[in-house]
Structure formats: C-alpha cells, structure tokens
Chain A
Amino acid sequence: METLWFCLVAIMIAGYVALDGFDIGTGILHFWVGRTESQRRRVLKSIGPVWDGNEVWLIAGGGVLYFAFPALYASSFSGFYLPLMIVLWLLIGRGVAIEFRNHLDSEVWRPFFDFVFTAASALLAIFYGAALGNVVRGVPLGDSGYFFLPLWTNFGVGADAGILDWFTILVGLLAFLTLTQHGALWLALKTEDILQERAQRAARLAWFGVLAMTIVVTAATMRIQPQVWANLTAHPWGFVFPALALAGLAGAILFRDPSTELKAFLSSCLYIVGMLTSAAFGVFPYVLPANTDPKFGLTVWNSAAGHYGLAVGLAWWIPGMALVVAYTVFAYRHFAGKVRLEEEGY
C-alpha cells in the first residue's frame, strides 16, 4: 500500500511537471518568441486557459503527499524552508503577472509584468530542478527526523551541503533546459508562422543542451547516490524508466518537422515523465535519503500514514482523478488548435 502511494505521488508530480512545465517553459521564452505586443499576447494566450489548471496539479500533488506521507511532508517542507518560501513568492509573482497583465493596459505595466512572468518562470525551473537534486543527493537527517538546510555552503555535496551545491545546480540547469525545450515545443504546437519558427529554433537549441546535461547529470547521480545503480542492477526491469526518457529525448528531435509538432511535444512529456520516474525508482524505498547515515533516511514505510487512511484514500483518489482527467481532456480539447487573437477569450 505504501509503495502504491509512492507510485501515485510520483505520477502526480510527474503530471505536474509535464503540464505546468510547458507553461513555465513558455514563460522562459516569452521575450524570445514574442517580440511585439501582439506576439506576446499570442504567447500568453497559448497557456491562458490551462496554466491555472496545471498549477492545481502541484496543490493536489502536495495534498496527496501530505496525507500519504505526513512525516515526509513535515520533515522536507520545514527543512527546505527558505527555498520553498522563495518558490511560493515566485508562484505568486508569476500568477499575478499572468492574470493582471492585461488588466493594466499601459506601456509601463505590461513590460513590467512580462518581465516578472519570465524571471519567475526561469527561476522556478531552476529551483524545481535543485529541489529534485536535493532529494536524490539526500539531506542531513538526524535522529529527530528533521533538518534545516542553508541555501548554500561550500557547494560541495558532503554532509554539510546546502540547497545549492554543484550537483543540485547541475540538476537545476537540466531542469531549466528541459522546461525551455518543453515550452518551445508547446509554443510550436500552438502558434503559427514566425512565432512557430522561433519556437522550433529554441527547441532545437535547447535539445542539445538537454542531451549534454542529461549525460552529465546521470553520471553525477551515479557517483553521488549509489542507491540508484544498486536499484537498477537489483531490479533490471527498472531500466524501462531511463529507456522512456531516452525515447522521449530521441522523439523530441526526430519529430522536429512542423507536421509532427504534437508528437514532438508528447515526446518531451515522455522525457520528463521518464526522468522523474527514473529518479523515483532510483531512490526507492527512500523518499528522502540521509547524506549523514543511511539509517536516518525517510522511507516509504517509516513516513507513511496509517493503513486505513491509505486504503480509504484510494477509494476517493481513483474516482477523483478520473474526474480530473476528464476535465483536463475537456479543457485541452475545448481550447485545441492554434491560438489566434481575434477569437473570443484568450
């Protein structure tokens, strides 16, 4: 049951990154793809109807994490206090910038909100990557099950590592490039003519970065977290997750022709899901490893809620998520196709 919830939480987080990831990537590319006001409006319109729903995956995923693994939620959220607060402020700034940009029709407010949107998107991508890096590397958990990490120390990955060390910065960069590519492929899917050309150029450039950083981060991970290689060799079926990521990465470049733009975007989704599930598989059964002494690490068993709670949770989670999938499909179909400015709404 604990393992099942571990998988469900992993799926929700992967769903969040695959969905909100493209609107974060769109934010990163906002100035690059949208050079004039009408172009920027088209960029924003491509995510307008869906970005809020995408962000709900974070809230819902957080909620599920909270009830299924309360000890993990308590330990990690308090331990990552400052970076999480910064993430919150970025989310607030970004949300406000998207929502209120066109309420304030002026030559000063609009560029200001555009800048907030782009800067917050870029920083969020890096912070999310660094967060994942921290979970893979492990944190200085002690007897109490709590820790507190400074933002950075000496950039080493040892027991006194901070949130940002050379490894987590590398993962942050990988996340930045991945979401840039993801957003570029989304924009290529949703726009036409010059915007689409720019988006595809950005996607291709980002792809090489993603490829290089994937190799670097994978090698670094193997060195820092031996659990990953141990899990893969002990259960070779787990190679399916990295294989998914590789297939996604290949697809993102193979489908670069405009006629297969949807396949390219879905490949990027596959890459993200593959990378995140690989990480989840790699650290299992830990949900938050300790870089002090492995015995202090939080596992799916010592951090999970009671059995009844997990069982009854399944009873509402399944119908609830079926509804969510239905809404998501409905929303994306309702707003399918290329964005044009003359339509009603976004």
Chain B
Amino acid sequence: MDSVLALHRFHFAFTITFHYIFAQLSMGLALLIFVLKTLALRTGRDHYNHAARFWIKIFAVSFAIGVVTGIPMEFQFGTNWAPFSKAAGGVIGQTLAMEGVFSFFLESTFLGLLLFGENRLGPRAHWATSLLMFFGTWLSGFFIVATDAWMQHPVGYTLQANGQAALQSLWSLLLNPWLGWMYAHNMLGTVLTGSITMASVGAFYLLMRKFEDYGRTFVRVGVIAGAIAAILMLFPTGDQQGANIARHQPATLAAMEGLFETQQGAPLAILGQPDTEKRRLDNPAVVPRMLSFLTYKRWSAEVKGLDAFPKESVPDNVPLLFYSYHIMVGLGTIFIAVLLVSAWLLRAGRLYTTRSWLWVLMLSLPFPFIANTAGWITAELGRQPWLIYGVMRTSEGPSFNVSAGNTLFTLIGFMGMYTLLAILFLFITHREIDHGPEVVRTPNGVPGAESRLL
C-alpha cells in the first residue's frame, strides 16, 4: 500500500480510536447519571445524589478528554483527507456543523451547571440538567453516526461535474436507512461501556469492603442496564445491522465471515484465520449452514463468497476485518452470558456476596471498550476499499500535498500526547474512585468550596 495513504489512514484511525474510548464512556455514563438522578428524585434518597455526583466527576474527566481529542477529528477531515473533504464536504459538512451548533453548545453550557449548579438549581432543575446533558451527548452521537452512515451508504446527493457531491435532500441524509440501526446499535454499545464500568467499580468497592452501600447501587444499576443493552445489541439492532450489510455490502459480509467461496447452506465460522494466500480459512471451527440461516432466514440460502466479487472491490484487509468482527460478536455473547448470570444472582439476592462473581464483574472493565473499538474497526474496514461506498475510493481521499514524513511526524506527536492524556486520565479517575462517592474535599482551607473548574 502506498505509504502516504497508509499513514493518513492510520493517523485518522489512531486518533479516532483513542477519542472514542472517552466518547463512548461519556455517552454511556450520561444515560446512567440521568438514571441515578431520576432515582434520587423519585425516592428522595440522598444516597442516589451522592452516587450521581461521583459519576458526574468521572464523566467530567472523560468528557474533557473527549473534547480535547475531538477537535483534532474535525480538523483532520481537512488536514489529512483534503480531496475527500472537497468531494464530500457539501454533504457531511452539514451533519458535522449541526453537531457543533446543536450538541456542543448545549453540552458545554450544561456541563458547568451539572457539576456545580446543584445547590443553586435545586433538585428538579438539576435533574433536568442531567437530562439535557444526556440528550446533548446522544445527539452528538447521532450526527457522527449519520456522517458515517452516509459514507457507508450514500443517499440524498448528486455528483456535480467538478466531482463534488452536492446535498439534494437533508431529510434523506438524516433518515438514511443505514442510520437507524447503526445508531441504535452504537448507542447501546456506549450504554454497555457505561454499565460495565459502573458495575466494575461497584464490584471493586464490594471486594475492597469499602463504600459498600454505593458498591451495591453501582452493581445493581450497572448489571440491569448492561443486561438490557447487551441483549438489544444482539437482537434486533445487531441482527438488522447485519441484514443491512448483507443487502448493501455483500462483499463486506463475505470478508467479515471469512467466506472465500460462494455456497448454498454456508457455514458460520466461530473461529479461524483467514488465509488470503490460499484463499481459505485456516483452523476453522464452524456451525454448518448457520450463516445462510442468519443472513437470509433459510438454511440452504446461497451466500456470496469473496470469489463472487472483483478483487478491487473487496475489503483490503480481510484478516483484521475478520478478527475485529469476531472479537465484537464473541465479546457481545460473553457480555450477555455474564450479565444474565449477574442479573439472576441479583434477583436471588446473592450477587453482592458472591465474591468470585464480583471478581468477574470487576475484571470485565476493559472488554466493552475493546468490543466497541472492534465494532468500529469492523464498520470502517468493512467499507474498504471505498471511502464513500461505491463513489470514492479510499486511495483517492488522502491529502497528497501532505507528505508521508509530515504525516508520520504528527502521528508520532499525537501518540506521545495521547499517552500522557491516558496516564493522566487513569491517575485522576483512580484517585476519584479511591476517595469514594461521599467525600467533599475542602482544598486550601476554603470551606465547602469545590476546587475543580469544570
């Protein structure tokens, strides 16, 4: 692969992957904070307000990193993908600009109030602030998924003589048939991240035998929300997203599933290693006929393999696509199992005391992040070799006026900077978790004053 192209791709992939770690946590927690504030309002128990305040603090740190790593994403469309921006800006510029105008202003205004306005606003207005924050972050997610959905399945535009896409219908762009299921699936993924994070911190408190009251609340809320999200991710959202891919991107489906040959009654590969040299799946573990059934609801249906498509229109990295997709699905299945067992233990009243299972919950923390990342890699690698599916190839998109050396330089710069950000994030959240939910710090002898700025 051309090195300018490869570097621009990795530049964007690295920065967006890092950004999305924090974006998914913020969006997931925004919903759960709203849930905690609702519980506080309905039960009148201050316990839930303390719990909400604790997560608002974690949310704020995650949100701050999300903001500072989000600005480079918008810039990179222009800096690293200039020909693409020129071609597509008339369409996807709309959704990106709408995100700024409709979501970011809302979020930045209400974050301050959410963090520090509790006393001044009173319980109802503070609850409403948490609702607005939830709405703002999820609206932001909508505009970004709408942007990606257009690249996956371009609608509502015309191609002008100068090669630029011109928007023809804003409604088609916002009601893209690709968008609904992808958005639902993606947002459930963020809920899963938030829920498992919350349950994991709760399990940590119970295992440490400190802040156990809060530990129980975190585990309970996390397990219930997580179990609902995990099931809905599989069905209907994941299933329907798969149906969209089968209908509109059949070559992608073949690559995701590692299906090299077209066949009737195609098997579903659970494990395996795509061997692109020999064009087969090495060491496969398959369920016969399952892929045909899942895709077309008929056991003997024909599923097109990679051999059915010209080489220049199949994804360029089949192994990574195959692994990402299988990691996502595999982890999703494990989440359902773990969370259903947890929910059953919760119902039986044994979850808080079953220490071995609390260990499982605590250690599950990194996996939803991995699953969400793998899901996005599946979506974006699956779109290859297209930048805009069927319209513009990825090889036509990067800024050729920015040389490979410059791109590598800034990529390394981002890697260094983001490593520092990650360390800071872990350090600060670790301290917050260590201090626990009830602490009111009075730094520098300023009585009752919250020390943080945001």
Contacts and interface: CB of A to CB of B under 8 A. Distances in A.
A84 B75 contact: yes
Interface stretch (B97-105, B322-330, B362-370, B374-382): B97-105
Contacts of B69: 92
A320 B102 contact: yes
Interface string A330-346: 11001100000111111
Nearest to A70: B89
Contact of B64 (A77, A88, A95, A344): A95
B167 A71 contact: no
A233 interface: no
Nearest to B119: A344
A148 B166 contact: no
A327 interface: yes
Contacts of B65: 96
Nearest to A149: B401
Interface stretch (B268-276, B280-288, B308-316, B446-454): B446-454
Interface string A303-323: 001111100110111001101
B320 interface: no
B78 interface: yes
Interface string A73-92: 11111111110110011011
Interface string B83-121: 111111111111011111110111011011101110110
Is chain A's interface secondary structure helix, strand, loop, or mixed overall? helix
A296 interface: no
A67 B96 contact: yes
B236 interface: no
Interface stretch (A44-52, A215-223, A255-263): A44-52
Given A84-B75, A96-B64, A345 B116 contact: yes
Contacts of A209: none
B166 A305 contact: yes
Interface stretch (A55-63, A170-178, A282-290): A55-63
A55 B90 CA distance: 24
Contacts of B70: 59
A58 B71 contact: yes
A91 B68 contact: yes
Nearest to B90: A305
B47 to A, nearest CB: 21
A60 B78 contact: no
Of the four ranges (under 10, 10 to 19, 20 to 34, 35 or more), the interface on chain B belongs to: 35 or more
A344 B94 contact: no
A205 to B, nearest CB: 28
Nearest to B93: A67
Of the four ranges (under 10, 10 to 19, 20 to 34, 35 or more), the interface on chain A belongs to: 35 or more
Nearest to B445: A38
A70 B105 contact: no
Nearest to B421: A96
B89 A103 contact: no
B108 A309 contact: no
A269 B370 CA distance: 47
A73 B77 contact: yes
A341 B442 CA distance: 12
A293 interface: no
Nearest to A44: B453
Contacts of A95: 64, 67-68
Interface in B143-187: 158, 160, 164, 166-170
Contact of B108 (A53, A69, A79): A53
18 contacts: A37-B444, A52-B112, A77-B77, A78-B399, A81-B406, A84-B75, A84-B79, A92-B68, A98-B454, A99-B61, A100-B61, A103-B452, A306-B166, A312-B94, A323-B106, A335-B112, A344-B120, A346-B453
Q: Which 5 A/B pairs are nearest by Cβ-Cβ distance?
A: A70-B89, A77-B78, A67-B93, A306-B166, A345-B116
Interface of B: 60-61, 64-65, 67-72, 74-75, 77-80, 82-94, 96-102, 104-106, 108-109, 111-113, 115-117, 119-120, 158, 160, 164, 166-170, 399-403, 406, 410, 413, 417, 421, 424, 427-428, 431, 443-444, 446-454
Given A64-B101, A144-B401, A307-B166, 15 more contacts: A53-B109, A61-B100, A63-B97, A63-B98, A67-B94, A70-B164, A79-B401, A104-B427, A306-B164, A309-B94, A309-B167, A312-B170, A313-B97, A334-B113, A345-B115
